[in-house]
Amino acid sequence: MASETGNLLSRVLESAFYRTALGKAPRLAKNANSLLKLLKSALVKVQGLGVGATFDVLRDKVVLLGGLIKAYATGEYRNIEFQNLLKVIAGFIYFISPIDLLPDFLPFVGLTDDVALLMFIIKSISDEIEKFEQWKKVVPQPE
């Protein structure tokens, strides 16, 4: 099972869909309005995911990453390596796109690639996520 997930992830990372998302990410990173629109789309989609432990963890992490994106877009938080920010943005672009390596309309498997990619990104930038969580504890957050 792990090798199947690794194989799928490799295919996603090498896909034209992900490369396109990575190519769009720098432009979006420089435009707060575009970032906030991307964030809104990702949060709407993640709320519609299925039930279960994996989806609950993913949902919580995407919401947390969404907070990071929002704080970056508004200029409140910039303590993230730009390459890691681009990974998150590209992951969100890929996630909201219905047409990717495994199109989202395919029953049972359509979101498998999206979940694999987002979980990979979350794991690969776990230090950045931890820094952001610590920052949130110290800096007063708006209601």
Taking the C-alpha atoms of residue 67 and residue 86, their distance in angstroms, rounded to an integer, is 15
Identify the domain containing residue 26 by its residue range. Answer: 2-138
Sign of the Cα torsion 120, 122, 124, 126 reads negative
Asked whether residue 142 carries a pLDDT value surpassing 70, the answer given is: no
pLDDT of residue 3: 58
Predicted local confidence at residue 55, as pLDDT: 78
Evaluate whether residue 33 is within a structural domain: yes
| pTM confidence score | 0.88
Does the residue 117 lie in any domain? Answer: yes
Number of domains in the chain: 1
Q: Is 143 among the domain residues?
A: no
d(CA 58, CA 44): 13
- Is residue 24 a part of any domain in this protein? yes
Q: How many angstroms separate the first and last alpha carbons of the chain?
A: 42
Q: Does 51 fall in a domain?
A: yes
119 in any annotated domain:
yes
Considering only CA atoms, which of 134, 12, 6 is closest in space to residue 64? 134
CA distance 104 to 11: 16
pLDDT tens-digit profile of 59-102?
899 999 999 999 999 999 999 999 999 999 999 999 999 877 77
